[in-house]
């Protein structure tokens, strides 16, 4: 049996237990066993790689900016209605919505720039989510912004205001709608394909 002093001279602690990658290993563990444990730990602790279709770049271009377009056009229509009917509330409200849309555009552009530079984003996708981050509820506030954006779309359609858009504004609305809806469908498809590739199955009745 090797004397304890020899371990001390060689810089090793007594052969009781050795810790490797956060796991206690017996002194008799083989090198390949220790390497296997370390590899397993690295897999567990490594951050999940973000899917390309979930990146800030794609989300900002296909969802964030189209929502900004809807808000901007809605604000523009509100201002026109305010001028047409001499309604100061609609006029001021439309200006407020346009400022809201511009701020959200700047935030989405910032997210795109951070993504291109490979840096962690310092802002949210919209001002409402940015306010929510103060309370650590940015995801909830982002969902509220999404609800408001879809409500704007429904309001413009059901009110008939959409016919008040000029030719270029109409094409802008159509482009934002197409980009938003098609991208949501494609993201769902890629998400399902990724889950299938990982071996998950759906549509089976519970046993």
Could you report the per-residue pLDDT of 7-32, keeping only the tens digit for each? 444 444 444 434 433 434 445 555 44
Domain-embedded: residue 47 = no
pLDDT at residue 196 tops 80: no
C-alpha dist (Å) from residue 9 to 1, 15, 19 = 16, 14, 20
Within 13 Å of residue 125, how many CA atoms lie on the same side as its CB?
23
Range of the domain at 85: 52-194
Domain-embedded: residue 142 = yes
Domain-embedded: residue 80 = yes
- Report the SS3 class of residue 17: coil
Residue 185: pLDDT band (50, 70, 90) is confident
- % pLDDT > 70, the chain: 68
Long-range contacts of 135-143 (CB under 8 A, 24+ apart): none
What does the alpha-carbon distance between residue 180 and residue 109 come to, in Å, rounded to a whole number?
17
The mean per-residue pLDDT over the stretch 24-43 comes to: 45
The number of distinct structural domains making up the chain is: 1
Domain-embedded: residue 126 = yes
Does residue 23 come out as left (phi exceeding 0), alpha (psi in the -120 to 50 range) or beta?
A: beta
pTM: 0.69
Strands 23-25 and 18-20: antiparallel
Residue 184: per-residue pLDDT:
79
What does the alpha-carbon distance between residue 50 and residue 63 come to, in Å, rounded to a whole number?
18
Residue 42: per-residue pLDDT:
41
What does the alpha-carbon distance between residue 184 and residue 61 come to, in Å, rounded to a whole number?
12
CB 80 within 8 A of CB 98: no
- Chain mean pLDDT for the chain: 79
The mean per-residue pLDDT over the stretch 168-178 comes to: 96
Residue 183: per-residue pLDDT:
83
Q: What is the DSSP letter of 20?
A: E
Residue 177: per-residue pLDDT:
94
Domain-embedded: residue 10 = no
Residue with tokens 């604000």: 75
The mean per-residue pLDDT over the stretch 135-161 comes to: 96
- Report the SS3 class of residue 24: strand
Domain-embedded: residue 5 = no
Does residue 123 come out as left (phi exceeding 0), alpha (psi in the -120 to 50 range) or beta?
A: beta
- Report the SS3 class of residue 151: helix
């Amino acid at each position: 049996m090797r004397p304890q002093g020899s371990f001390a001279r060689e810089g090793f602690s007594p052969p009781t237990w050795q810790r490797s990658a956060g796991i206690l290993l017996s002194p008799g563990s083989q090198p390949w066993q220790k390497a296997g444990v370390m590899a397993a730990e690295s897999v567990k602790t490594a951050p999940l790689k973000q899917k390309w279709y979930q990146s800030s770049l794609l989300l900002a271009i296909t969802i964030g900016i189209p929502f900004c377009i809807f808000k901007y056009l809605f604000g523009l229509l509100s201002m026109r209605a305010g001028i047409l009917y001499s309604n100061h509330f609609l006029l001021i409200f439309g200006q407020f919505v346009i400022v809201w849309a511009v701020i959200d555009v700047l935030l989405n552009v910032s997210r795109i720039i951070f993504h291109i530079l490979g840096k962690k984003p310092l802002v949210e996708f919209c001002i409402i989510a940015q306010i929510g981050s103060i309370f650590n509820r940015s995801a909830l506030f982002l969902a509220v912004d999404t609800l408001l954006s879809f409500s704007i779309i429904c309001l413009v359609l059901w009110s008939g205001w959409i016919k008040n858009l000029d030719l270029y504004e109409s094409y802008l609305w159509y482009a934002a709608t197409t980009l938003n809806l098609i991208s949501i469908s494609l993201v769902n498809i890629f998400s399902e394909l990724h889950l299938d590739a990982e071996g998950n199955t759906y549509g089976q009745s519970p046993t």
